[in-house]
């Protein structure tokens, strides 16, 4: 799956989870889980469950880190890497 396809699917998830307008452009650096890297545990859980379901992946506990989940670009890179795993 291409990076752009992953990005579009993530963007659709984020729009659903955060009730964002369809015509509102989402920045690649949109902060998803706390501007200071802190996680709101409910938001993090909702996002992780949606990502796992959408992409058919399992996110391990040790992978739940700000550098993987804090922005659209971080999450896109993370999922791209997960999809490339054997």
Domain boundaries, the chain: 3-84
- Measured CA to CA, the distance from residue 65 to residue 8 in angstroms comes to 22
Assign 82 to helix, strand or coil: helix
In order along its 86 residues, the chain shows pLDDT tens digits of: 899 999 999 988 888 887 777 777 777 777 776 655 455 677 778 888 999 999 999 999 999 887 888 888 999 999 999 999 87
- Measured CA to CA, the distance from residue 77 to residue 68 in angstroms comes to 8
- Measured CA to CA, the distance from residue 85 to residue 72 in angstroms comes to 20
Tell if the pTM clears 0.85, that is, is over it: no
- Give pLDDT, residue 28: 77
For domain 3-84, give the fold: 1.10.1200
């Amino acid at each position: 799956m291409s990076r752009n396809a992953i990005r579009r699917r993530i963007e659709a998830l984020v729009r659903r989870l955060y009730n964002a307008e369809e015509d509102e452009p989402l920045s690649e650096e949109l902060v998803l889980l706390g501007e200071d890297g802190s996680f709101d545990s409910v938001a993090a859980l909702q996002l992780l469950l949606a990502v796992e379901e959408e992409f058919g992946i399992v996110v391990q506990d040790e992978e739940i880190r700000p550098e993987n989940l804090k922005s659209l670009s971080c999450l896109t890179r993370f999922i791209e890497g997960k999809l490339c795993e054997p």
